[in-house]
Structure 1
């Protein structure tokens, strides 16, 4: 049995037997049909996952998930266990696998799904198994990078996700940061951009990466920032970005010249989408993740254990600290 499937069976069992939630509540929380939950609970017993305690998965993770979910009012959260000896590459791989399973589980027929970019998000999409879902439309919610990297360009991610779901894809033909506000406005108000903006107005779900420290400049798009941009962001104490929109530790959007030159969905609009999912890991991103979830820009989060513990530490919550 695949590890992702085993964990989902164990989570359903934990919510039912330990949290004492009803099958209807579990179905709503996991975005799975009520009848499927019943079968999953039976399979969990058949597979030996449910005995006196939850077997094969560290149930402490589920307790941590429930604490974070309730503390920040999240719809869903997936936290990946982290071993002491694991390399950063191994941690990235585990997160990508979990994120892939999460995305596949949450996309339903007739959805319009927005996608931003990032290495972790790109790896997650590459690991999604083909699944025919009726009438899905996948669209970019940010502009493209300066130099096309076919592996992680937002249009590539959109195309790959649509292909794997047998859906429709819409592309963007402009870089995320323009030289002037006038150029950005001209593109944003052009006829060709109209179709994409219409899709932004009816998004059912958005899947986004979260950027952290300003010291990390090897992003596909941060090379479009000028030294003046960086200096302004440092002075205003930016802690991260999402959809190429920067914010401070309180989640306040840093508007101004750079903001006005950026082609991407506004984070206030992101928060209004029925289901906005953030995928990110790494202690350097903890401040950004904390700001995003406290401000309510995203509704669900896929991360790992060491990252979320750092988020709680920054928020002065010692419940799960060693």
Structure 2
């Protein structure tokens, strides 16, 4: 297949762009069906005239179905979409990019999805879907597992795409947290993931960013909370997102003095309430029950998921600050990470 792809690129390079464009259309419709032409054109950044020509072709080919409510992918289109995924990855040299990033970051496995999560929400959902598939494979060995998960939009996409039957698995939040955006918090994602897997779950009701004295008091006096923390510390699989330091500091409503200190110390990434500089230094840590970066050395498999060019520095900082076994990201973030690593 590689030789055919190389010939195609040399002799008819315009077909590569056309194939990728039609693949992106099918992928977007698959995630958002039913969807109208105008909305689809806006999602993909195409003019309605260009989009109309492509969707008409896909309809005539039996891959798209039109109705009064919008477009949807036919069964044949869904099958073609699955088959095209690997072909498109090879067309865009994604496999080479994966191996290059793996070697550069010294990570055992890197999976890269085409596109940029900052520009296309569908890419973020694809990252979540891929993470769900990898997690399902890890859980299929028949052993008992404790899975810890963090919060965030990409993590929510992962939980939404998981399926299976894992009654021996326990799902726990990687850390506590109460407040806004409950649907994106680790407790909620742990619950959704457990329900999708037919697994059991535990929740950790400890407010985010409490003082050290209050946290120690909660852990000392609340047997239930302490028991959940003990289970979290025994997790053998961790799936977590990565946040931009500035965004997460505002989200957690850290004081202006703390935010100024983060900026002065060069914090660019955040995971588990710990803020990291680009060189991997941990420059600030919030108080919270659950996992911390130093706990990761005791976990069997660690999966980091995050995408978008804007998160490249954050991803690189967290990887340098901690051990990661699998990274699932997108093409835009991968190229930017390699650029940063080369510049340094």
TM-score, with structure 2 as normaliser: 0.68
Q: What corresponds to 1:302 in structure 2? A: 328
Where structure 2 has 5 or more consecutive residues not aligned to the other structure, the ranges are 1-22, 24-79
Larger Rg: 2
Q: What corresponds to 1:62 in structure 2? A: 95
Task: Give the Cα separation in 2 of the matches to 1:298 and 1:106.
Answer: 15
Cα distance per residue 1:1-38 (max 9 Å; x no partner)? xx9xxxxxxxxxxxxxxxxxxxxxxxxxxxxxxxxxxx
Q: Residue 237 in 1 paired to residue 266 in 2?
A: yes
Secondary structure of the corresponding residue to residue 281 of structure 2:
coil
Task: Give the Cα separation in 1 of the matches to 2:88 and 2:95.
Answer: 13
Aligned partner (choices 92, 98, 103) of residue 130 of structure 2: 98
Aligned partner (choices 162, 166, 182) of residue 133 of structure 1: 166
Q: CA deviation at 1:301?
A: 0.6
Q: What corresponds to 1:73 in structure 2? A: 106
Name whichever structure is richer in strand by fraction. Answer: 2
Name whichever structure is richer in helix by fraction. Answer: 2
Q: CA deviation at 1:193?
A: 2.1
Q: Residue 120 in 1 paired to residue 146 in 2?
A: no
Q: 1:173 to 1:83 in 2, by over 3 A?
A: closer
Q: Residue 153 in 1 paired to residue 182 in 2?
A: no
Task: Give the Cα separation in 1 of the matches to 2:314 and 2:294.
Answer: 16
Q: Residue 182 in 1 paired to residue 216 in 2?
A: no
For these two proteins, the number of residue pairs brought into alignment is 259
TM-score, with structure 1 as normaliser: 0.72
Given that 1:143 and 1:177 are in contact with CA atoms closer than 8 Å, whether structure 2 keeps it comes out as no
Secondary structure of the corresponding residue to residue 214 of structure 1:
helix
Q: 1:289 to 1:83 in 2, by over 3 A?
A: closer
Given that 1:213 and 1:285 are in contact with CA atoms closer than 8 Å, whether structure 2 keeps it comes out as no
Task: Give the Cα separation in 2 of the matches to 1:293 and 1:153.
Answer: 22
Q: What corresponds to 1:18 in structure 2? A: none
Q: Residue 88 in 1 paired to residue 120 in 2?
A: yes
Q: CA deviation at 1:116?
A: 0.9
Q: 1:62 to 1:317 in 2, by over 3 A?
A: farther
